[in-house]
A and B are shown apart, each in its own frame.
Chain A
Amino acid sequence: MTTTARPPAPPVRSHPENRKWVGKSIRRVEDPKFLRGRGGYIADLVRPGTLHAAVLRSPHAHARIVSIDTDAAAALDGVYAVVTGAQAAELTEPLPDFGPDPAKHTWRCLAVDKVRYVGEGVAVVVADDRYLAEDALALIDVDYDPLPPVVDPERALDAGAPLVHEALGSNLAYERTFDFGDVDADFAAADLVVRDRLRWHRSGGQPLETVGAIADFDPSTGQLTAHTNSLSFTSYLFMVANTLRIPANKLDIHQVPAGGSFGSKLFVTKPLVLAAMCSRLVGRPVVYLEDRVDNISNCDHHGSDRVYDVRLAVTRDGRIRGIDIDTVDDYGAYIQFGVGHHGNALAQVTGPYTIDSVRYRVRAALTNKNQQGAYRGFGSEVNNWMLEQMVDKAARELGMDPVQIRRRNFIRPDQFPYFIPTGNVYDSGNYDAVLDQALEIGEYDRWRAEQTQAREEGRYLGVGLIAAQERSVFSATEFWFWFDEPGAPVTSMPESVTLNVDATGGITATLYSCAFWGNSPETMVAQLVAEEFDCDPHDVSIIYHGSQGGLPATGPGGSRTTVMLAGAVEGASAKIKRKARRAASELMEVDPDDLEWFDGGYQVRGVPEQRKTLGDIAIALHLFKHSFPEDVESGLEESQVFDHPYTTMPSADRKDLGVFYPFMGHACHVPVVEVDIATGEVRILAYAAVHDCGTLVNPRSLAGHIVGGTAQGIGTALYEEFVYDDTGQLITSSFLDYSIPTAMEVPHLRIGHVETPSPYTPHGIKGGGEGGRMMAPAALNAAVNDALAPLGVRVTELPMTPDRLRAAIRAAGVVTGGR
């Protein structure tokens, strides 16, 4: 533990009881349009007359571009422009990059001079339609000079490895070791040091809708109007303007619903920049829509790809004292978010346990692959898996039960708020309660009995059990505390809402960031507004403001949307009510202090028949301003910019990273699997998941996220991998090879909720959008290891494909008949 003096926590809130709408599984307000096929996704917004762009992708992992001949393509009827990477570099600045030293690994919308991964764009064609654009692509002649590729992240760091970026001088984009607490002392005092080497391969969000953008540049005003299904980080749009060399106040981005993201649409600038560059060049609106191959090979949002060497310091009675983590992460050819994914892991690196010290060494390797971006969990899901693997291994070596070792190390409810060694705080939690419920609904004891029986029959049944964290509401410190210089003040990552009450009392809420990704920001806001104003959530209108002239906003990511929007709604509602109360007092000629809000209006305390509904007040404020004192303006509209409620600065020496992810969810997953040791196939027999995300806003929505996230976690654990072969070829470039779980692979989940309200957020809400995927890979790995325990087999690599399982089983000397 560090002794740094800590800034005070925000005031502890008291949460209202008897909520009417918060906590109800109402039908989502977003859904009718989607059910009717009128979602208004980006592809649906293409108007006649819009030109289509298509990108020529590199077939090589690593090659010098000797020359590009575009003449034949440009001569084709219906083609308006062909732009090579070199020409694009004249038209645009490099893409926004939050990584270390971007000048040493410059990232552009199209490759210049050399290609660094299969799928990297080398030229873009603009044509009357997509068919013609693709015809033209086939006519572009690129002369490549292939270079040796670097594919393995550890070998990429060897001296003499081919360089992905010559300017960097090596493939090590970043390295740092952080020490929190007295790691050496904890290891010296340990009775047992558990070691392991673990491997997590890359997968990705792969939403069914790819990324797209429609750009319309107006040469007469210099204004660029764009629609795109990406771009949260609305507050950082000036960076996109800079890439396009236009003033930020001439860039107006309109958010459209995204057909899924799971992180992979977080701040995707490349399609927008391509479309915008082309639109400015040809003077017409241009749409660029990735196809599936574009998205799989060139989305800039592959997930983590890590090798771990870990040591765990444990006492004989099962107490975990310290953890020493050494990881190499394969970032691919660029590193747009730096090692923010490891910052994310540091938010909850010690899990739900009272581990005293942490050493964290990260090396970011560059290779000839598509770069990492965001995928549900943003790197902390990998940490969850690593930690739970280590805890299980410790239990095995100590002869302890997996339940027992976890209970032994849990942070107790009376220890919150609890600062973990890295300096982040966990606001609240009740881990035993979650575990108890998971054991119950997961029928843990019954499955243990079945397992004994199955083993007697020679079947390999395994029960997994993991207890892990789900941090929520990021403050972005995780992206920059890695660098001592330049120091930056703490980032507040705001979110804004405007509430407008029209003359009839109808309420419209305006949101300022791209918020719909399949989560339900509109339903959440509608429920929260309904809670404040006692109306029906389905009667609340929700609109989105474009970026131009919009209030500060960040958008979804890091399970922040619900909490941040709740804060903004709360603030805007309070302002509306303040004005409404004053207006009501004027209308009824009573003292404002004598009024109370009740059932959709203000009434005189103790005299319920003397009241004005919100509608009464609103019409007066809209039409009869002169009935009010001088300083009351017409209308009833208020905004609130809500800033991160609890984040603090890291210490200068970085021995304490400050508070940056304080609202800590928790979950326990209990899957039961059967492994066919002859084929390596894993069948899930049962699955229970209990989550604690604080106060629930819409239990059915959250349950949907838990099931959906778990389904993705099942993919991560068993099926999904972007496989690059030794030559750097991506051999999983379609859904035929990149296997997303179908309804046959995802079992029926039993779901439980525990609600430990956050003391620091409106209603006590914590974020909950990522939890399923943050738990399932660890849980399934635990289950498979439990199944194979009698054979002495432990699987330490994900995904656990049949060939990997068979290899592990064979390596243990198990003969299964046949080959």
Chain B
Amino acid sequence: MTEELQEITLTVNGRRHVLAVQPRRLLVDVLRDDLGLPGTHIGCEHGVCGTCTVLLDDASVRACITLAVQADGRSVRTVEGLADGMRLHPLQEEFWDKQGLQCGYCTPGMLMRAVEILEQVPDPTPDQVREGIASNLCRCTGYQYIVEAVLAAAPRMRSENPWDPTVPTEAKA
């Protein structure tokens, strides 16, 4: 049942990869196993929970029901692309500050969805954030502090310099 390998080109977090994959391989497996990017998690493998959310050419997709060959020639953004070295992305910062995570398992998918929401609606209302993240399940938090975190990140993302270095990025209370 070994299938012919197919060559694909993926640009992941700005870096180009040329890979040979079986046509049946899922994007999530290629990201995790072939490219060594374990941040994209698997929750249901049925396309329901959103845990595996990545951005494919700037739109969120469920990497558990996307074949890697479907992403050929396209660009993928994953949670690993958010932080800039030591500095966390403003959304990561706010998730940390507001405790928008508990077990952290849904977090990468939730962050990528939040990136998409803020790119589409830079100044969302609480209801828009709630409705927006309803695409993704979180079993731990009850969503409240995720909503708070996204709302707190929005003005930072709109500001001149979202990565304002005066905002502490290292662990401090």
Contact = CB atoms under 8 A, between A and B. Distances in A.
Interface of A: 24-39, 41, 43-44, 46, 76-78, 131-132, 135, 205-209, 257-262, 291-292, 516-520, 536-538, 700-701, 704-705, 707-712, 734-736, 740, 742-744, 746, 748-749, 772
A361 B115 CA distance: 54
Contacts of A205: 139
A507 to B, nearest CB: 15
Given A28-B99, A704-B102, A740-B139, A208 B41 contact: yes
Given A32-B171, A43-B41, A734 B48 contact: yes
Given A538-B171, A708-B139, A742-B137, 4 more contacts: A27-B96, A35-B95, A208-B106, A742-B136
Given A207-B105, A259-B105, A132 B41 contact: no
A258 to B, nearest CB: 7
Contacts of B41: 41, 43, 208-209, 259
Contact of A257 (B92, B104, B140): B104
Contacts of A44: 32, 38
A37 B81 CA distance: 10
A536 B145 contact: no
A77 B2 CA distance: 9
Nearest to B106: A208
B158 interface: no
B142 interface: yes
Most central of B96, B111, B140 by chain A CB within 10 Å: B140
Contacts of B96: 27-28, 31-32, 35
B131 A744 contact: yes
Nearest to B109: A208
Contacts of A291: 45
A707 B142 contact: yes
Contacts of A746: 142-144
A131 B40 contact: no
B173 A536 contact: yes
Contacts of A209: 41, 43, 103, 105
Contacts of B133: 743
B1 interface: yes
Given A27-B96, A34-B107, A260-B103, A744 B134 contact: yes
Given A536-B173, A711-B143, A41 B95 contact: no
Interface in B49-82: 49, 51, 78-80, 82
A260 B142 contact: no
A681 B95 CA distance: 32
A528 B104 CA distance: 23
Contacts of A258: 103
A29 to B, nearest CB: 7
Contact of B101 (A35, A516, A517, A538): A35
Given A35-B92, A35-B101, A736 B142 contact: no
Contacts, number: 194
Contact of B147 (A26, A38, A207, A743): A743
20 contacts: A31-B96, A32-B88, A35-B92, A36-B80, A36-B92, A37-B37, A207-B140, A208-B43, A260-B105, A518-B103, A538-B173, A700-B145, A701-B99, A711-B143, A735-B44, A742-B136, A743-B130, A744-B131, A744-B134, A748-B126
Contacts of B95: 31, 35
B138 A34 contact: no
Contacts of B25: 131
Contacts of B142: 704, 707-711, 746, 749, 772
Interface in B18-40: 22, 24-25, 32-33, 37-40
A255 B68 CA distance: 32
Given A260-B140, A712-B139, A36 B102 contact: no
B141 interface: yes
B144 A208 contact: no
Interface in B83-99: 83, 88, 92, 95-99
B46 A41 contact: no
A708 B102 contact: yes
Contacts of A517: 103
Contacts of B88: 32, 35-36
Nearest to A33: B104
A131 B22 contact: yes
B15 interface: no
A783 to B, nearest CB: 17
Q: Which 5 residue pairs are nearest across A and B when measured between Cβ atoms?
A: A37-B39, A34-B104, A259-B105, A518-B103, A707-B142
Nearest to A131: B24
B99 to A, nearest CB: 5
A259 B49 CA distance: 14
A717 B105 CA distance: 24
Which of A37, A259, A260: most chain B CB closer than 10 A?
A37
A766 B49 CA distance: 33
A131 B45 CA distance: 13
Given A35-B111, A536-B173, A708 B43 contact: no
A712 B44 CA distance: 18
A488 B82 CA distance: 54
A749 B147 CA distance: 12
B102 A260 contact: yes
A536 B171 CA distance: 10
A794 to B, nearest CB: 28
A700 B99 contact: yes
A41 B39 CA distance: 10
Interface string B116-148: 000000000010001101111111111111110
Contacts of B22: 131
Contact of B49 (A26, A39, A43, A208): A208
Contacts of A701: 99
Contacts of A33: 104
A37 B145 contact: no
A76 B2 CA distance: 10
Contacts of A132: 1
Of A24, A33, A536, A734, which is in contact with the most chain B CB atoms at under 10 Å from its CB? A734
A734 B44 contact: yes
Contact of A37 (B46, B97, B108, B137): B108
Nearest to B83: A36
A516 B79 CA distance: 21
B3 to A, nearest CB: 9
Nearest to B137: A740
Nearest to A45: B38
Contacts of A41: 38, 41, 105
A24 B108 CA distance: 27
B101 A262 contact: no
B5 to A, nearest CB: 13
A749 B141 CA distance: 12
B153 interface: no
Contacts of A39: 104-105
B12 interface: no
Given A704-B141, A743-B130, A35 B46 contact: no
B10 interface: no
B173 A518 contact: no
